[in-house]
């Protein structure tokens, strides 16, 4: 089994070769927007392949994108007092607008399409895409909140975009990537100094542990 450094090197090499799925390309390009050292590697890779990020023309959002995004955020927060809903929606929209491109556009589109889904207390996730070869989700972890203990059916790369989190083996801040293989189990905890936003890309779905794992297996059997 390769170590994390080697696997990340393979990731950047695959990006240069143009063989990454859209979800994994999104992760690399978002990391490059956060970290200058990765940006240099990405720019070099794009020079080789003849593709330059600065020459890409971003897609235009729909005319009512702003209003639909606010509504999607507002609809999710039905537990909030109505007098605070507008302020909260504005804060959540600002979080999305502060994301680096190309993640910002994908997150706004996803928020309009389906919106944030609550996983557990203090943890929500936004489905960014499930293109062939990869699943992508943006996680929003409140300070001190814990993502339920889980493993994965394939490798998972989690890029911290804002804030930070810690798990059983380390701590991760903006621009860091946490790599997990199917043999790893972890329960990320959001840092205490602010909301953590993290982009997780995986080759397979999550396998929960404990009671959530039992429920997951029961419902999986019922749907087959």
Counting Cβ atoms within 10 Å, is residue 197 exposed (0-12), middle (13-18) or buried (19+)? buried
From first to last of its 224 residues, the chain has per-residue pLDDT tens of 455 677 888 888 888 888 888 999 999 999 999 999 988 877 776 676 654 444 445 445 454 444 454 445 445 555 555 556 667 777 888 899 999 998 999 999 998 888 898 888 899 999 987 656 678 999 999 999 998 888 888 889 999 999 999 998 899 999 999 999 888 888 999 999 999 999 999 887 777 665 555 554 544 555 44
The full set of domains in the chain, from first to last, is 4-55 (no CATH), 65-222 (2.60.120.10)
Q: What is the pTM of this model?
A: 0.76
CA-to-CA distance for 131 and 20, rounded, in angstroms? Answer: 11
Q: Which residue has the tokens 């392949």?
A: 49
If DSSP codes are grouped into helix, strand and coil, which group holds residue 143? coil
CA-to-CA distance for 13 and 116, rounded, in angstroms? Answer: 33
């Amino acid at each position: 089994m390769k170590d994390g450094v080697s696997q990340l090197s393979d990731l950047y090499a695959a990006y240069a070769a143009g063989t990454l799925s859209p979800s994994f390309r999104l992760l690399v390009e978002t990391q490059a927007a956060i970290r200058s050292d990765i940006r240099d590697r990405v720019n070099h890779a794009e020079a080789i392949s003849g593709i330059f990020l600065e020459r890409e023309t971003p897609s235009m959002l729909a005319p009512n994108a702003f209003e639909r995004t606010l509504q999607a955020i507002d609809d999710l927060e039905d537990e909030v007092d109505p007098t605070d809903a507008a302020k909260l929606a504005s804060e959540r929209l600002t979080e999305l607008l502060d994301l680096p491109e190309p993640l910002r556009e994908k997150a706004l589109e996803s928020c309009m399409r389906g919106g944030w889904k609550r996983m557990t207390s203090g943890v929500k996730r936004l489905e960014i895409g499930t293109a062939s070869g990869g699943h992508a989700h943006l996680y929003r972890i409140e300070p001190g909140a814990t993502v339920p203990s889980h493993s994965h059916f394939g490798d998972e790369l989690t890029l911290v975009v804002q804030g930070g989190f810690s798990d059983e083996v380390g701590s991760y801040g903006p621009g860091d990537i946490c790599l997990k293989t199917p043999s790893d189990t972890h329960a990320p905890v959001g840092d205490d100094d602010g909301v953590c936003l993290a982009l997780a890309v995986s080759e397979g779905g999550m396998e929960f542990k404990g009671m959530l794992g039992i429920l997951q297996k029961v419902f999986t059997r019922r749907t087959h």
